Amino acid sequence: MLEAPKIAIDQVNNGTARCEGGELPFGCVPFVLEGIVDEWPAMKRWNRAELKRRCGDARVECFVQPREQGTFLQQSTRSSRMTFAEFLDHVFAERESAALLHYLRIGTGDPLFEELSADFVIPRLLDGYNAAATGIWIGEKGNVTPFHHDWWHSFLAQVCGRKRYTLIHPFEAPELQKDWPPAARYDLAAAPPAASPGDNNGLPAGFCGVLEPGSVLYIPPFWFHQIDTLDNGTISMPIRFDTIQSPDLPLFQLSQDSGLRAVTNERTEELAELVEALRRNRARFFAREREFVTELIKERRVDATVEGVLARIRGAGGD
């Protein structure tokens, strides 16, 4: 796999980026953006001693996971309450803790986020800043966020420590997911992670590299990504912007289903061709919808039938 191309902040302008030998709209290709966070006070202030001094008494609810498992999925990972100081002692420890890994998300509505917000400036790289999806992530070596995809433009700003990223194009979803259990396809369970550093493990072509402090990884909407934490005391800020539909941008706008995103990129102006493409995609979507409902009922142990759930969904306005 190749590393994502590196570009400077002056190569970004009005929703486009100059990389790969040309000017591309956001949404086409991942890249590593440099020259944004270097001057943030957070780059010097966010260390174990200073964070404990400022915020150590705050109560936090962090995710915890057995070390042998390692993967973190918000929907299914259990959490534990402790002081921020106790959490920091876990993740900044010089030696491996015995049994558990810890990971903390500080959301924008949290008093901790407000306290720390003096140490950074949210870059307005696009319209549609999504504050609710933005936050501060603090973790330790061994944490893995397994393959998943999001619907927004995501900028992962690295403040402390290093993270390894693995990115797969959304059109490669069938190949990537061919051996996944159904629950993993819908983030009801963790996807199988890449086995080890630098091991593509039969993955489709994509991008892989190490994000260093001071750099920002741009992850386009719907790209599958796995993030591995390589160091203790690693701090990142995912900064998100909503996907904005535009006839000028080949973004994957209309659905998390890859087939529908493919339709948005066909660039055809023939109505009949678009209608037929959407008809075929709708048939695929209904098959995926049935698979999703089947898995959801099984995972949540709901006493219901697939037919009954789908009938209620479509009776409430779906078709």
Query: Per-residue pLDDT for 248 more than 70?
Result: no
Angle at 249 between CA 132 and CA 36, to 5 degrees: 50
Residue 127 CA to residue 124 CA, distance in Å, equals 7
Q: What is the pLDDT of residue 32?
A: 95
- The whole-chain average pLDDT of the chain stands at 85
Domain 6-242 fold is Jelly Rolls (2.60.120)
Q: How confident is the model at residue 207 (pLDDT cuts 50, 70, 90)?
A: very high
Q: Which residues contact 153 (CB under 8 A, 6 or more apart)?
A: 26, 27, 125, 126, 218, 219, 220, 221, 240, 241, 242, 243
Task: Identify the weakest region by mean pLDDT among 69-83, 201-215, 221-235.
Answer: 69-83
Residue 73 CA to residue 101 CA, distance in Å, equals 13
List, for residues 49-107, the tens digit of each pLDDT value: 999 999 999 999 999 998 888 788 777 788 899 999 999 999 998 776 668 899 999 99
* Domain ranges, ordered by start, for the chain: 6-242, 268-315
Q: Which residues contact 195 (CB under 8 A, 6 or more apart)?
A: 201
What tokens appear for 137 in the block? 């992530």
